[in-house]
A and B are shown apart, each in its own frame.
Chain A
Amino acid sequence: MNMFFQSIMAGLETGSLYALAALGLVLIFRTSDVINFAQGEMAMFSAFIAFKLFDGMKLPYPLAFLGAIVFAILFGFIVERVFIRPASKASLVSKMIITLGLIMIVGGLANALFGIDSHYFRKAIVADNMNIKGVVIQPNAIFIIAITFFIMAGLFYMINKTKMGIAIRATAQDENTAKMMGIPVSKVYSMSWIIATILGAIAGILIAPTTNVSTAMMGEVHLKSFIAAVLGGFGSFYGPVVGGLIIGVLDNLVGMYISLTWKTVIVYGLLILTLIIKPTGIFGKTHRKKV
């Protein structure tokens, strides 16, 4: 039973990170109608920045973390301005292709700049494990879950209560109407790309102790965040969070009780199952498309 709780705990830990990344995907999709396939590579790049600041420039961990966030802000802003905005009139397919090109550019640059080696990166919280009735709990796991919930609470507050949030939701609903209502749509685009890049960076830095920092580190997180977004539904902001947590827990339970080798295959099966049974996701609604 202890093992069970422990793997649930570990699942919530990684699940929170999938949720962060998935939220970034959905945020961009809802506002600028792009599926950002480069999200994982961008997150990897930000994680590398944090690592380099920490390991190379010997900055304290919190400062390195903060430095990477500042980098992510610039990174998200630049990517949106340079690659996405000029193509705002293009079809969904063209926009997807642009983000696929970004994978090659960002991934290639990371390889050229940082090398192909994999580096150990410390945990955010280094403290002794707690033992509650036989269930071993890492403080770092608690920290990750807490920070994720903290970020999401902040984000949902922003989306639901602030002016920027209303602008984001309005743009997500109908870009043209939003424009006519005087909503600065281009600011919303920038903002959503920046937020999404930050979310990815946080996920990348926090997953690093498990995956190590390397150019390939985000491969799995990236795919799982997509599955989380589909499972929860691209149509709502809550969906991907729930989806991420479910994937995280399931992933760990499968790894624990069924098979570690076939984990990826089984989780992928879940994606296919979702697409068959409820393609709009758990929180998704079906809309009638206008002809």
Chain B
Amino acid sequence: MNILKNKPIQYILLGLIIAITPFIFNFQRGTLTMFNTVIIYSIVAIGFNILLGYAGQISLGHAAFMGLGAYISGYLTNMGIPFILSILIAGVIPMIIGLILGLVALRLEGHYLAIATLGFGVTIQQIFKEWTSFTNGYSGMRGQPASIFGFSFRSRESFFVLAIVILVLLSIFAYNLLKSKTGRALIAMRDSEHAAQAMGISLLKYKLIAFSISAFYAGIAGSLYIHLIRFIEPNQWGVELSLNLLAMVVIGGLASIEGSIIGAFFLTVIPDILKEIPMLGEIRNLSTILTGVSLILVIMFLPLGIARINIQIKEKLNNKNTKKTALNQ
């Protein structure tokens, strides 16, 4: 059973099982939409995690990259360009923009990327609102169902399969990348910038790689989003979404692909459940407040997130005095 220990094969098998569940059980359409968005946010979160968990950089503008992907893909498919090509372009253009923004902000100390991307997010959102010939402004943009070689992913079930295939592919890509030269360089950079530099690792180059990959993943997810919901408008892509993406990664587990997916799941499903609870559901923004509280609690007490909660508890019990965690050094 050695083959089951291979992570990519685990991803494929797990993806397969999850992809067929909607065909076995009868979920409501709303529930299926939610599952689909979990998958979409998982994709952004994996990319974001490469940036935050591995390269240690904060972005407050990933909602803008996701929005860009959504608008680009929506616009292109509405013009009759095939979905496959559109989704690729929807990933590549944010990646190039990320590369340019990164070239400016990543040369500097850590907090400058956060500030630059905060401004970037607000600015791009402004562009979404005002550049009506491209985005249709406040009226919003309608999207078409994704279709590949004539097969249309119109039903929620079929879209789920498509989204999972893309998630599995991107997870395997991220896994492979992080297990080779690039991943080692990123981890080296995080643990000791001096050692990394002395070993020939250009900090700027690897921060740029992480940032542009994360923008690519966000763009792909954005593209999937518009072909799932089939409607987007500028207000969705604000700093609130960027903060939520960050919370997914931190709460789920920094530097962990599984953590990204777990985080996306929790932050999408729990607010939905909360809404249903009587009394509690009445409180406006309860889920936002709870997300903020959990974000802070996790970063203080479980810096590796819920994905690796067992390891951390063990470690805490073993050596209460020496806290050795990924971020607290």
Question: Which A residues are within 8 Å of any B CB, using their own CB?
Answer: 29, 35, 37, 83, 86-87, 89-94, 96-98, 100-105, 107-109, 111-112, 115-116, 219-220, 223, 226-227, 230, 261-262, 264-265, 268, 271-272, 275-276, 279, 291
Contact = CB atoms under 8 A, between A and B. Distances in A.
Given A94-B327, A275-B104, A275-B108, A104 B299 contact: no
Interface of B: 52, 56-58, 60, 104-105, 107-108, 110-112, 114-116, 118-120, 122-123, 126-127, 130, 194, 239, 243, 246-247, 250, 283-286, 288-289, 291-293, 295-296, 299-300, 303, 327-329
Contacts of B57: 93
A108 B285 contact: yes
Contacts of A83: 296
B299 A90 contact: yes
A94 B296 CA distance: 9
Contacts of B243: 100, 103-104
Nearest to B292: A104
A279 B112 contact: yes
A227 B122 CA distance: 12
A72 B104 CA distance: 36
Contact of B126 (A92, A265, A276): A265
Contacts of A265: 123, 126-127
B108 A87 contact: no
Contacts of B285: 107-109, 111-112
Contacts of B250: 97
A92 B246 contact: no
A92 B108 contact: no
B292 A102 contact: yes
23 contacts: A89-B328, A90-B327, A92-B111, A94-B328, A96-B58, A97-B296, A97-B299, A98-B296, A98-B299, A101-B292, A104-B292, A104-B295, A105-B293, A108-B292, A112-B284, A219-B239, A230-B112, A262-B130, A264-B122, A268-B119, A272-B104, A272-B119, A279-B107
Contact of B122 (A91, A102, A107, A219): A219
Across chains A and B, which 5 residue pairs bring their CB atoms closest together, nearest first?
Answer: A104-B292, A108-B288, A108-B289, A105-B292, A101-B295
A104 B247 contact: yes
Contacts of B127: 265
A104 B328 contact: no
A103 B111 CA distance: 16
A86 B118 contact: no
Nearest to B283: A112
Given A101-B296, A223-B119, A268-B120, A96 B286 contact: no
Contact of A109 (B194, B289, B303): B289
A107 B290 CA distance: 12
